[in-house]
Amino acid sequence: MPFPVTSPGSQQTPPPPKHHGISSPISLASPRETDCVLTQKLIETLKPFGVFEEEEELQRRILILEKLNNLVKEWIREISESKSLPQAVIENVGGKIFTFGSYRLGVHTKGADIDALCVAPRHVDRSDFFTSFYDKLKLHEEVKDLRAVEEAFVPVIKLCFDGIEIDILFARLALQTIPEDLDLRDDSLLKNLDIRCIRSLNGCRVTDEILHLVPNIDNFRLTLRAIKLWAKCHNIYSNILGFLGGVSWAMLVARTCQLYPNAIASTLVRKFFLVFSEWEWPNPVLLKEPEERNLNLPVWDPRVNPSDRYHLMPIITPAYPQQNSTYNVSVSTRMVMMEEFKQGLAITHEILLSKAEWSKLFEAPSFFQKYTHYIVLLASAPTEKQHLEWVGLVESKIRILVGSLEKNEFITLAHVNPQSFPAPKESPDKEEFRTMWVIGLVLKKPGNSEVLSIDLTYDIQSFTDTVYRQAINSKMFENDMKIAAMHLRRKELHQLLPNHVLQKKKTHSPEGVRLTALDDGSLSLSVDSENSVSVSSLTSAVKTGPGIGGSPGRNSPAPAVVVAPVSGAQVTDPSLQPADPSAGPGGVSSQGTPRTASQPAVAPPPKPMVTRVVSSTLLVNHPPRPSGSVARTRPRRPEEGTEGTEAEGELHSKPDSASPWAPGRHDAYNHFCLPPPPAPVSPLPSLCLCTKYTCVSLHKTLRMLVFS
């Protein structure tokens, strides 16, 4: 065998070491014995949370997917025969079920659903998938709860196969047959495909790329299980509400694995918090260098797309066409996640020093003790089916409300809890399904003694208008579908939430408030208290139907308030007052609800019957506010504790004419009385637009952090 010939004085340079990702690793250190011990302790800590599935259950999932795969092949053969394809093609036509998401990544938990993709050859249409394949599934005895969502952004068939929930997408490739060894990462498969097929393929392509780009799959999976559990425990796992979804967390963990390729799970969890607590957002997180393709598909590129420059926390998918998986992230959600990253880093440092156990990392924070002010959103519908659709729509739009609140100069942060809660019924005799979400508010500290009014009604109405508009456009809206929004203080949350949810029992004074609607349209407020003082009242803004235009009584004064000391602890929610049944010109009621022949008028809701015990409360009827209003601040009460650093505010009720932003569909508006704001918030840092999408200085910073 001939030897390579080298000229005198020349040196053969060794090949550069292979690395994963767009940069070289931060550390190549091998695990120590203490790291192995900590990893084993981490596994033992994770087991009680059900993040590992038993082998028997795993084999059951494999069997179900095999049955589903055979069903797909059988269906495609039938379609091929009906379209008179040659017999040789029919015998090899193929068809296959691919998986993606948590199941494909190998991090699914007990009872989790399966995300699947049905890949068919070019002669099988999407209409066939939602007709003949749907009918074939309907006839299968093991298939339950079958439903098709053909008009969705990514069309899907949902079903329960032998007790396992499965979501099936569809993609038709420009191939005559589908081979068994088909690799969906091949970019040439995207040629001549419609956008819906490309969206359906994206999940599988991204998942496969992530697994291909990590140095050690087993270490990646264990680390991702721990991070996903931590994110769920800390209420920051929700893509639809502006936090991160499963694929985003997977990409962050994958990037950590690339930077520490030889580390095991205990080290990777700690390095995860180190890297992303110091990450200079909005610099993007990328697992590979973006590659150019001549397929004319839109990709994330802030150099070309101005809108991409406004993304606050970009995490870019590795498969073409590259997209930002975190476009829903807002200023508030990013602030919340960054704070959680820093706390996670502190806890893992304690674990490394044997000052804490892994269980401390998965302790749920006290969301309902963290803030002083909260906004509670309630969505209700008369039937369970309507309630499921209504709740899904409302939840998908909550981030719009959070974005509106963030723009208010007096609100520092609006933190929505991804967990929803069942709400008490208005009346025990009425069949109604209700769900509520809670948003914590951080208000700016008072700079001086002056108090300003902040009207949040415009933000609430913009949110409800958006929800109702989409419900009507999608022909989903039904009578008695309602949205309510109310303000509560921390000490008043027990009115709607049980003690085991609040996590911290607090003593409340046995003071009762009763609000009832009188015949003359006024509100009667009854307070049972020896020492009654003026404090923030329980108020709310409710919409019982979509609002369009203004009401005839826009400038009418707010209802009078009658105060009388009586006993009792029953509260009738003043926000749910009967709407004016009279209709204005053009079929629009005085409350702004459109009435058409196909959509009957929304009936007035009954008076709510919710029992509540709150602190002494006084509603104040304000005249229109002059400029430069002077008000007061109140001292903190002993029962309120010392938690929370935001400003204390007061809620009042005022006429429509007093608000310059009033759209004019309610008799009274809810607003905060707050001190003037401090200096304006500094703008967000500019997005890095360098050629390679990443900053070398950031990598150097991380390198210094490791060895410091």
**8 A C-beta contact, residue 295 and residue 61:** no
User: Which residue out of 125, 167, 465, 580 is catalytically annotated?
Assistant: 167
Give me the DSSP letters along 49-98: GT-S--HHHHHHHHHHHHHHHHHHHHHHHHHHHHTT--HHHHHT-B-EEE
Query: What angle (nearest 5°) sits at the alpha carbon of residue 624, between those of residues 620 and 626?
Result: 115
Q: Would you state the structure tokens that stand for residue 403, as one six-digit string?
A: 């974005």
Instruction: Residue 614: name the closest of 537, 505, 532, 502 by CA.
Output: 537
Q: Is 228 a catalytic residue?
A: yes
Number of C-alpha atoms within 13 angstroms, CB side, residue 393?
Answer: 27
Other beta carbons within 10 Å of 185: 16
The kind and range of the H/E element at 197 are: helix 195-213
> What is the distance between the alpha carbons of residues 202 and 702, in angstroms, rounded to a whole number?
31
Q: Would you state the structure tokens that stand for residue 420, as one six-digit string?
A: 């929803």
Between helix 265-277 and helix 331-352 the angle, nearest 10°, is: 140
The kind and range of the H/E element at 455 are: strand 452-455
Instruction: Residue 436: name the closest of 462, 450, 416, 413 by CA.
Output: 416
> What is the distance between the alpha carbons of residues 83 and 79, in angstroms, rounded to a whole number?
6
User: Which residue out of 23, 80, 237, 669 is catalytically annotated?
Assistant: 237
User: Which residue out of 23, 35, 96, 228 is catalytically annotated?
Assistant: 228
Query: What angle (nearest 5°) sits at the alpha carbon of residue 75, between those of residues 70 and 77?
Result: 95
Instruction: Residue 662: name the closest of 614, 599, 592 by CA.
Output: 592
CA end-to-end distance (rounded Å), the chain: 51
> What is the distance between the alpha carbons of residues 57 and 53, in angstroms, rounded to a whole number?
7
User: Which residue out of 41, 67, 73, 113 is catalytically annotated?
Assistant: 113
In the beta sheet, which residues pair with residue 670? 653
> What is the distance between the alpha carbons of residues 169 and 158, in angstroms, rounded to a whole number?
9
Give me the DSSP letters along 382-424: SSHHHHHHHHHHHHHHHHHHHHHHHTSTTEEEEEE-S--EEPP
> What is the distance between the alpha carbons of residues 419 and 421, in angstroms, rounded to a whole number?
7
Q: Is 458 a catalytic residue?
A: no
Is residue 235 left, alpha or beta, with left meaning phi > 0 and alpha meaning psi from -120 to 50?
Answer: left
The kind and range of the H/E element at 561 are: strand 561-564
Q: Give Cα 483 to chain centroid, integer Å.
A: 18
Q: Would you state the structure tokens that stand for residue 105, as one six-digit string?
A: 């990544």
Instruction: Residue 148: name the closest of 173, 169, 120, 123 by CA.
Output: 169
Q: Is 301 a catalytic residue?
A: no
**8 A C-beta contact, residue 86 and residue 123:** no
Which residues in 276-385 belong to E strands, given as ranges?
373-381
- Longest CA–CA separation in the chain, Å: 107
> What is the distance between the alpha carbons of residues 486 and 460, in angstroms, rounded to a whole number?
10
Q: Is 167 a catalytic residue?
A: yes
> What is the distance between the alpha carbons of residues 187 and 702, in angstroms, rounded to a whole number?
33
Q: Give Cα 118 to chain centroid, integer Å.
A: 27
User: Which residue out of 23, 80, 102, 330 is catalytically annotated?
Assistant: 102
**8 A C-beta contact, residue 624 and residue 658:** yes
User: Which residue out of 115, 455, 528, 667 is catalytically annotated?
Assistant: 115
Phi, psi of 610 (to 5 degrees): -105, 125
Residues 365, 366, 368, 372: is their CA dihedral positive or negative?
Answer: negative
Strand-pair category, 164-172 with 156-161: antiparallel
Hey, what amino acid is at 545?
Answer: G
DSSP 8-state assignment for residue 621: B
List active site positions. Answer: 102, 113, 115, 167, 228, 237
